[in-house]
Structure 1
Amino acid sequence: MEALLPIIIQLVSGAVGGNIAGAAKNLSLGTAGNTVAGGIGGVVLSQLLPLLTNGSLDSALSGVVGHIAGGGIGGLVLTAVVGLIKNAVASKA
């Protein structure tokens, strides 16, 4: 259970970040789409964050705060990117 807690935190904060990004009308994937894309982005960025920073994160960011921040930002970014791609493809069709 201890190993699942960071992933749950990343999923939830990613979903929140995805729904924040989806609040912009031109980026929205719908509530379910925002939540799923955000959750995926949250987990992916939070897992990659230690690799991207070469392990040089402050001790404050290495714990729960790091999982929340990484998850939220990852969810926001992935949802925004997918929303932009969806709109670009829809406008060309």
Structure 2
Amino acid sequence: MSVLTDLAIQLIAGAIGGNAAGGLLKNIDLGPIAKTISGAVGGGIGGQLLQAVIPALAGAASAPGGFDIAAAAGQAVGGGVTGAIVTVIVGLIKNSLMKKAA
């Protein structure tokens, strides 16, 4: 798979993971746009880092130009999880700063 395809999967999965984490944790006071952006950024960066650490996520065994569903699933899971983690961290930082300001 190409680098752009990998990144697109990670960004979309990160946005979904960020919105899911923000929806499940009611103390994360981020709006829907902030949850989507923080999740996408986390998914993209985290997915790329995981892909560098775990080369199997890159789909190195797939045929050139082919689509490896296992690699895509791995990237989606990695992007979703890191997107959720970054969204939670951003929400906690925002909450901490709002408490100090009040």
Is TM more than 0.5 here? Answer: yes
* 1:32 paired residue number: 33
Out of 73, 81, 97, which is 1:89 matched to?
97
Unaligned residue ranges in structure 1 (runs of 5+): none
Instruction: Name the counterpart of 1:7.
Output: 7
Please give the secondary structure, in 1, of the residue aligned with 2:94.
helix
Structure with the higher fraction of residues in helix conformation: 2
- Looking at structure 2, the residues matched to 89 and 67 of structure 1 have their Cα atoms a distance apart, in angstroms, of 32
TM-score in terms of structure 1 length: 0.84
Q: Structure 2: state its 5+ residue gaps.
A: 62-67
Q: Which amino acid aligns with 2:16?
A: V
Max radius of gyration: which structure?
2
Is 1:17 the equivalent of 2:25?
A: no
Q: TM-score, normalised by structure 2?
A: 0.77
Distance 1:69 1:61, change over 3 A: farther
The CA deviation string for residues 2-51 of structure 1, in whole angstroms up to 9 with x for no partner, is 33111111111000000011112211310000000000000111111134
The RMSD of aligned alpha carbons is 2.4
Match of 2:81 among 43, 64, 73: 73
Percent sequence identity over aligned pairs: 42
2:40, 2:83 within 8 Å by CA — same for their partners in 1?
A: yes
Could you report, residue by residue, the CA deviation over 1:44-65 in whole angstroms, capped at 9, with x for unpaired residues? 1111113445x477x7997111
The list of structure 1 runs, each at least 4 consecutive aligned residues, that deviate by more than 6 angstroms after superposition, is: 59-62
Give the paired residue count.
91
